[in-house]
Structures are given as C-alpha cells and as structure tokens.
C-alpha cells in the first residue's frame, strides 16, 4: 500500500501528535476510496485528516487510543454524501516506535491504512503506515509518500 499525504495533511496530523503528547492522539485519513480499497497494492491519497477525541480514560490514553464507533459511523455516512470515505486511521505512539502494538493488531479492521507517528519527548519522529494482513494475524508495512512524489 502506498499512502500519499499532502503537506498540509501531514503537518496537521504531526501537530496533533505533538499537542496530545504524552497521550496518544487519533484521527481519520479521508479521501476518495479506490475500487481496490483494501488490496495490498492499492494507492491511497489522503486529502484531509480529521482529528478525533481519544475516548479512553485519562490514565490509559498514553498507551492506547479508542474512537467512538457511533462517531465513526456518522462520519462515514457524511463523507459518502460527498463522494469521500475513510481511508484509514492515524494515531501517535508517545515515546515508542511507529510500529503497531499487540493492542493495535487486536483492534485493527481490514482494509484501513493505519498510520502511526512516533513522538519522543514532544518531538514527532518517523511516520509509518500499516495494513492488516489477509489472515489478520499481522501487519504489512506500506510506504508513506508526499503527495505528487514520483513513483518509486
């Protein structure tokens, strides 16, 4: 999977990750759903990001995130009305690498791009994107590219 981020989208979700530190932030990546959505070779272009509240209790927010499923369902309906959809979910890992945790694996849904931004001491570091494998037992890493970057 290749996830294209516009400079504005990348800047905003990185700012969100810094502002939430040392708690995890979370939000959605929005764009046009491709016909092959969920396919390993898909190309996703995030046109917008949308900040959401991490709904875990305060003491848990430093190591996991949760999105209200009713909010998610409502947003998907609203996006569909303007021909857009949820391409994926982003969240931050305060003082941890941008690799999915066992919790992330347990709670991931098929097809969505999971973008993780590592934040160390309030400074955002690398961002990596992950797609659940077909057997749902692991993640496959994709590539994060700036919009309009040449194909590798």
Candidates 27-35, 40-48, 82-90, 103-111; binding stretch for Zn ion (CB under 5 A): 103-111
CB of 96 to Zn ion, least distance (A): 8
Specify the 3-state DSSP secondary structure of 80. helix
101 binds Zn ion (CB under 5 A): yes
Segment 7-36, which members bind Zn ion (CB under 5 A)? none
Strands, sheet with 2-5, edge to edge from the N-terminal-most edge strand: 43-46, 2-5, 143-146
CB of 144 to Zn ion, least distance (A): 16
Candidates 38-46, 93-101, 117-125, 136-144; binding stretch for Zn ion (CB under 5 A): 93-101
Between CA 80 and CA 42 the distance in angstroms is 20
- Decide: residue 34, CB within 10 A, 0-12 exposed, 13-18 middle, 19+ buried: middle
Candidates 26-34, 36-44, 97-105, 121-129; binding stretch for Zn ion (CB under 5 A): 97-105
């Amino acid at each position: 999977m290749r996830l294209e981020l516009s400079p504005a989208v990348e800047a905003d979700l990185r700012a969100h990750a810094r502002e939430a530190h040392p708690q995890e932030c979370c939000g959605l990546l929005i764009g046009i759903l491709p016909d092959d959505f969920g396919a390993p070779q898909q190309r996703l272009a995030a046109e917008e990001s949308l900040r959401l509240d991490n709904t875990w209790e305060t003491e848990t927010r430093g190591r996991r995130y949760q999105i209200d499923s009713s909010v998610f369902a409502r947003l998907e309906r609203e996006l569909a009305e303007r021909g857009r959809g949820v391409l994926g979910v982003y969240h931050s890992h305060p003082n941890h690498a941008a690799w999915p945790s066992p919790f992330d694996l347990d709670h991931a849904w098929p097809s969505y791009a999971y973008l993780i931004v590592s934040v160390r001491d309030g400074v955002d570091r690398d961002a990596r994107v992950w797609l659940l494998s077909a057997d749902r037992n692991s993640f496959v890493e994709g590539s994060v590219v700036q919009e309009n970057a040449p194909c590798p």
